Chain A
Amino acid sequence: MEVVPFNNISSYLNGNIGKYLADYLAELQASTVVIEENYVDRNFLIDYAKFYARSFSAPERFTRRLHFFSKKFSELHLKNALEGNKSLKELSESYLGFVVIKPIKDNDIDGSFLIGRTALKTYPKTDGQDTRTFLTHPCEASLYGIPFKINSLPFQTQDKAVAACATTALWVSLYPLSILFQVPMLSPSEITEKAVTFPGEQRNFPSLGLNLLQMVNFINFIGLDTENINVPSIDTTIVPDAVKAYISAKIPVIACLRLIRKDGLEDYHAVVISGYKSDINGNVKELYIHDDQIGPYSRVRSQDSFKNWINEWVIDYNYQKVIVKRLLVPIYPKIRVTFGRIYSVYLEYQERAFGQGFYCKFFLTQVNHYKRSLLDYKLENKIDILSRPLPRFIWVIRIFSEYKPIVDVVFDGTEVFPKDLLTVGFSM
């Protein structure tokens, strides 16, 4: 057991991603770090068994896990708490999350140790008048028997032995999907193994990357379907619209990026969009992404509705442009109304609503969540609406006037074509 002040974190977190994590934790006001040695990380252990165990020079099987707290405390304080002489509640309340460090160096980039499964608290939910929305689920950790719980979306960097960016993006996506649709949680090597049952031009292992069909192949393997959104095909705010619509249903959105170098050559990259910041009118001002080469909840800004991104790739990594080529959304097969069909209906409503001085948003949701959210509102025919049977998945187009919802048009998400089921009027 070792307890160190957060100021000493650079001895443990180094390299570009380590520095990003240290800066992120500083924003969360981290004060103390508890170092847990010889931690058995399930994901790494499976990758170890599948890949490293058969290497002549195999690395260690155990990892190191760093736990972060906003409260200042000493090793003696933690020992007293474990003995029962101090309250554990204060520690639980100040828990910010953990970072696993794998015993493998990234010799490809900066020689730092690879970051394994990492779950950290999100940025605060509000920023002045703006609101942040994140894709999270409950993440639990046990440190010497003390249970900790935070809401987060796990992150890890890529380990080129078993996974490149596409595999890592699929791995991040599995966390919310496993809760929503009960799909299996797999390690990066297992994901690559399933994905490459569709052949690509690269070696399977060490993994040099997956192509689009291999990613879709993996999504099929876990029993889901893929919504593919061709971003440059249409001149609307399609990226923020899709992100808001799917994150509302806790469904991850994978962004497939085209990175243009200063010499004009191109690279392709995949990341998960893990949240967004919006203003009082619902306009998205910032995206947050889990980028396996940058870090979790990395900020993205844009000057053109998030079709081109401004982030570390442009600012620090010497790329000229980051272009969003497409969005891949793993969805439950029973959500049959395609994004393209429902989006075309949404655009019809949006155009007319703007014309009348209103604004619109649309989102996918499940009937139980939707009805629960309606309980907080005064509605016309409330009992009738709440007691009416509806399909499990619904798309909702909501029209607002002066920040207040006026009407919802509810569509059956399980139909092939958009079919409105009911209109919900909010009492003004």
Chain B
Amino acid sequence: MERKENKKEKEIEQKIKKILEDVEKKTYTKKNLEKMEDFHKKISYISPEDLLKSFTI
């Protein structure tokens, strides 16, 4: 039983390690930083019409 638990923990550890390594490798590449900037601009975009719409309800 304990051995089975240990095996499961090892598997989880390996998977987590892979996730962290993958993201680490990908996040800070030049291409991905550019993508991040596009995403940031898209997510914070306000159209000129929206800027002046009054919340009147």
Majority SS at the chain B contact face = helix
> Which residues of B are in contact with A by a Cβ distance under 8 Å?
9, 12, 15-16, 18-20, 22-24, 26-27, 33, 35-36, 39-46, 50-57
User: Which of A20-28, A30-38, A91-99, A345-353 interfaces with chain B?
Assistant: A345-353
Say how far A277's CB is from chain B's closest CB, in angstroms: 25
Known A345-B36, A353-B19, A428-B9; judge A338-B57 contact (CB<8 A).
no
**Besides the contacts A212-B52, A326-B50, what 20 more A-B pairs have beta carbons closer than 8 Å?**
A208-B54, A210-B55, A211-B52, A211-B54, A212-B50, A228-B46, A230-B43, A233-B42, A234-B39, A256-B55, A268-B56, A269-B57, A326-B46, A338-B44, A341-B40, A349-B19, A353-B19, A406-B16, A407-B16, A428-B12
Closest B residue to A208 by beta carbon equals: B56
Cross-chain pairs A/B with CB under 8 angstroms, 16 sampled: A165-B56, A166-B55, A200-B52, A210-B55, A213-B51, A228-B46, A233-B43, A256-B55, A259-B57, A326-B50, A340-B39, A348-B26, A348-B27, A349-B23, A352-B22, A406-B12
Of residues 336 through 379 on chain A, the ones whose CB sits less than 8 Å from some CB of chain B are 338-341, 343-345, 348-349, 352-353, 356-358
Which residues of chain A have C-beta atoms less than 8 A from B52's C-beta?
Answer: 200-201, 211-213
Which residues of chain A have C-beta atoms less than 8 A from B9's C-beta?
Answer: 428
Assembled-state Cα–Cα distance A407/B54 (Å)? 44
Known A358-B15, A406-B12, A428-B9; judge A211-B57 contact (CB<8 A).
no
Assembled-state Cα–Cα distance A175/B9 (Å)? 44
Which residues of chain A have C-beta atoms less than 8 A from B20's C-beta?
Answer: 407, 409, 423
Decide if A18 is an interface residue (CB 8 Å cutoff): no
Closest B residue to A357 by beta carbon equals: B15
Known A349-B23, A406-B16; judge A268-B43 contact (CB<8 A).
no
B41 A212 Cβ-Cβ under 8 A: no
Assembled-state Cα–Cα distance A340/B42 (Å)? 8
Say how far B50's CB is from chain A's closest CB, in angstroms: 6
Known A406-B16, A428-B9; judge A325-B50 contact (CB<8 A).
yes
